[in-house]
A and B are shown apart, each in its own frame.
Chain A
């Protein structure tokens, strides 16, 4: 089994007020092969519940360095962030 950590920002904090991040567990062989963006989003949907679905759909995954592309492959053990639509300024 492996873990992917996902930090939550903005409106995602409505779904997890007690913790700013989620730990997602994945079984073999995913743990070995790595994961797709959509697999991580699906796991996050399960954890956060149906009310978070729409927000997850319009959000992106990112590292501290860049926003991930749909075709990116994510190694197990990664630390990611899920970024809802932004509104700074």
Chain B
């Protein structure tokens, strides 16, 4: 069974944990992507970023994206995805993606697919804090109800009633 591990967490991302996950599978290609908080965005000096996330749905969407990548590039691909929540300083890692595959081509392509889909589908939001003292929730990509995560399920939907 190929492993898919997706986590949205307030704990700092440790690169060695991501690398360790990938090294447990003896695949010839291990691809890692780490996204970090940039110092300048659209000309404004950034001092920190805060991520908000709807964690249960975000983890589910990330998993769906990995499953799609497996369908496309091979069921033996393995994934570790970690996304931070909470306040992060400049240079801190906000997202980590590890992909293992038999060959580099699938690993590169699957990793790129995961980050691009994550940005437009995972319910995660970013607020930037600027040197000027201003803050801003960044404009994003509108979700629509017809994405994979919202396709009608064969089982009844749980509306979280108590």
**Residues of A that sit less than 8 Å from B by CB:** 7, 9-11, 13-14, 58-60, 62-70, 72, 74-75, 77-81, 83-89
B residues in contact with A83, CB < 8 Å: 54, 57, 123, 143
Interface residues on B, range: 35 or more
A residues in contact with B95, CB < 8 Å: 88-89
A residues in contact with B42, CB < 8 Å: none
Contact indicator B142/A13 (Cβ below 8 Å): no
A residues in contact with B160, CB < 8 Å: 63-64, 78-80
The answer to whether the Cβ of B158 comes within 8 Å of any Cβ in the partner chain is: yes
Main secondary structure of the interface of B (DSSP, over half): mixed
Q: List 21 A-B contacts (CB under 8 A).
A: A9-B52, A9-B53, A9-B123, A58-B142, A59-B142, A65-B157, A65-B158, A68-B150, A70-B145, A72-B145, A78-B161, A79-B159, A79-B160, A83-B54, A84-B137, A84-B140, A87-B119, A87-B126, A87-B140, A88-B53, A89-B115
B132-158 Cβ-contact flags toward A at 8 Å (1 or 0): 000001111111111101110100011
Contact indicator A85/B139 (Cβ below 8 Å): yes
Contact indicator A87/B141 (Cβ below 8 Å): yes
The answer to whether the Cβ of B121 comes within 8 Å of any Cβ in the partner chain is: yes
Kindly identify which residue among B56, B138, B149, B151 contacts A87, using a CB–CB cutoff of 8 Å: B138
